[in-house]
């Protein structure tokens, strides 16, 4: 154990820029990431807090084209349903949004929470069992920040049928899908969320 | 909008140290934090990703001693129940753990997810409604890291009855308790989780 680090004003300023420019990315270049980079980012993600030190995150790197296609099909079904629930101008705006980069992103990871893990001996999740899922979300958040430090973009796709995705990947029934992550070099960068730029909040098309 | 930041190797190395030394803190000094610091940390937390840009986080800074006492009472009930579920050596080890700093921490925040928010118009959470809660967890994770940049420790208490805490704070029924955060200067620092140091995983007392 070395001495605890002290972060100076210069680091704090750059860290603030990291948070501002982290962003959800849906427009990726197709060129691959350097060998080993995703593994290094996952190692940083796994320094994340977890309830009772349970570390329930399970990362499935999806490289098989048929499995990716199954997930894209699920997105398309869910997105069509979602579109059908909006009306008028908001439906037109929704239809114009690009909500995922599942065709372009060179790296894609399905992230699960292992509800069967014994690690941690149940500590801290007796009255709030959802803490196990939250631990995985914290790790994803750290992955996202670590990726942006390396200039890599991440997009979290949630417009999916979790069970259909789990089955397509032959993941155990005790694993709950938390996220589908698209990962790659971003085509563009901004410190303003894409949904804000698109006018989703206000209803106006920006 | 300024130019996108590029993070050099020096920043990446310090960022790695930040993740390693973030840690869950349960041993706090009692002296107050500088005026305005928590507000600045919350502003950084709110740069976090949220589903559909819904920003459903609601931060309740708990200063009232009676409210803090109600939360401590809830912890004590839940912790006694948890202890009763372990046996033998593991029960003795559990009883020896310090699992919260609710008496000492100068700042305490109850963090809720507002399930009634219309912001984001439901985007991205039709098939995975839990995304709203996850958005709050991401913001807490960023708060935690931002705090450690400033040298401030954070501990997440989950051994609580969420509804009892919500009622004690008179929060609306649509707000779901996600976390109780204890915040202050840490008494000690380590890059090894306290549960690991205590031998909780292995069952041996370190």
CA-based nearest residue in chain A for residue B94: A123
* For helices A65-84 and A88-96, angle between their N-to-C axes, nearest 10 degrees: 160
Give chain A's end-to-end CA distance (angstroms, integer): 51
Does the complex come out with an ipTM higher than 0.90? yes
Do A62 and A105 touch, CB atoms closer than 8 A?
Answer: no
A160-185 pLDDT tens trace: 999 999 999 999 999 999 999 999 99
Q: Exposure pattern of B103-128 as b/e (b: 16+ CB <10 Å)?
A: eebbbbbbbbbbeebeebbbbbbbbb
**Closest to B128 (Cβ–Cβ): which among A86, A90, A162?**
A162
- Using a CB-CB cut-off of 8 Å, the residues of chain A touching B162 are 127-128
B21-29 average pLDDT score: 97
Alpha carbon distances (Å) from B82 to A148, B91, B200, B205? 40, 9, 14, 19
Decide if pLDDT at A29 tops 70. yes
**Closest to B159 (Cβ–Cβ): which among A2, A81, A124?**
A124
- Using a CB-CB cut-off of 8 Å, the residues of chain B touching A192 are 1
Residue B4 pLDDT level (bands cut at 50, 70, 90): very high
- Using a CB-CB cut-off of 8 Å, the residues of chain B touching A123 are 82, 94, 99, 195, 200
- Using a CB-CB cut-off of 8 Å, the residues of chain A touching B144 are 49
Dihedral sign, Cα of residue B57, residue B58, residue B59, residue B62: negative
A7-32 average pLDDT score: 97
**Closest to A44 (Cβ–Cβ): which among B19, B123, B134?**
B19
Residues B130, A128: C-beta atoms closer than 8 Å: no
B59-66 average pLDDT score: 98
Write a three-state SS string for chain A: CCCCCCCCHHHHHHHHHHHHHCCECCCECCCCCCCCHHHHHHHHHCCCCCHHHCCCEEEEECCCHHHHHHHHHHHHHHHHHHHHCCCHHHHHHHHHCCCCCCCCCCEEEEEEEECCCCCCCCCCCCCCCCHHHHHHHHHHHHHHHHHHHCCCEEEEECCCCHHHHHHHCCCCCCEEEEEEEEEECECCCCCCCHHHHCCCCCCCCC
**Domains, chain A, with CATH or none:** 22-197 (3.40.109.10)
When the pLDDT of each residue in chain B is averaged and rounded to a whole number, the result is 96
Residue A87 pLDDT level (bands cut at 50, 70, 90): very high
B75-85 pLDDT tens trace: 999 999 999 99
Residues B201, A119: C-beta atoms closer than 8 Å: yes
Residues B128, A1: C-beta atoms closer than 8 Å: no
The percent of residues in chain A predicted with pLDDT above 70, rounded, is: 98
B116-173 pLDDT tens trace: 999 999 999 999 999 999 999 999 999 999 999 999 999 999 999 999 999 999 999 9
Decide if pLDDT at A203 tops 60. no
The percent of residues in chain B predicted with pLDDT above 90, rounded, is: 96
Measure in Å the smallest separation between the Cα of B143 and chain A Cα atoms: 11
Phi, psi of A26 (to 5 degrees): -125, 0
Residues B140, A138: C-beta atoms closer than 8 Å: yes
Structure tokens of B134?
């996850």
Residues A19, B47: C-beta atoms closer than 8 Å: yes
Chain A interface disruption, residue of B25, B96, B127, most A CBs within 10 A: B127
Distance CA B105, CA A81 (A): 47
* For helices B131-149 and A131-149, angle between their N-to-C axes, nearest 10 degrees: 60
pTM over 0.95: yes
* Residue indicated by tokens 């982290």: A22
A92-142 pLDDT tens trace: 999 999 999 999 999 999 999 999 999 999 999 999 999 999 999 999 999
Residues A22, B137: C-beta atoms closer than 8 Å: no
**Closest to A19 (Cβ–Cβ): which among B23, B24, B44?**
B44
Contacts of A114 (CB under 8 A, 6+ apart): A56, A57, A58, A172, A174, A175
DSSP-assigned letters across all residues of B116-170: T--TTTTTT-SS-TTHHHHHHHHHHHHHHHHHHHTT-EEEEE--S-HHHHHHHTT
Neighbouring C-alpha atoms within 13 Å toward the C-beta of A161: 14
- Using a CB-CB cut-off of 8 Å, the residues of chain B touching A134 are 133-134, 137, 178
């Amino acid at each position: 154990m070395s001495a605890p680090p002290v972060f100076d004003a210069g680091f704090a300023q750059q860290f603030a820029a990291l948070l501002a420019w982290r962003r959800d990315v849906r427009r990726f270049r197709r060129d691959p990431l350097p060998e080993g980079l995703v593994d290094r980012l996952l190692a940083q993600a796994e320094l994340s807090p977890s309830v009772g030190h349970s570390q329930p995150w399970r990362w499935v790197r999806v490289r098989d084209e048929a499995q990716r296609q199954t997930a894209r099909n699920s997105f398309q079904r869910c997105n069509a349903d979602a579109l059908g629930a909006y009306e008028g101008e908001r439906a037109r705006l929704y239809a114009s949004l690009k909500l995922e980069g599942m065709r372009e992103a060179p790296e894609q990871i399905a992230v699960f929470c292992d509800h069967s893990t014994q690690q941690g001996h149940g500590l801290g999740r007796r009255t709030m069992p959802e803490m196990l899922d939250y631990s995985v979300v914290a790790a994803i958040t750290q992955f996202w920040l670590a990726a942006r430090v390396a200039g890599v973009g991440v997009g979290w796709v949630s417009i999916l049928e979790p069970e259909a995705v789990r089955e397509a990947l032959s993941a155990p029934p005790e694993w709950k899908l938390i996220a589908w992550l698209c990962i790659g070099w971003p085509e563009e960068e901004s410190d303003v969320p894409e949904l804000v730029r698109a006018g989703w909040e206000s209803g106006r098309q920006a």
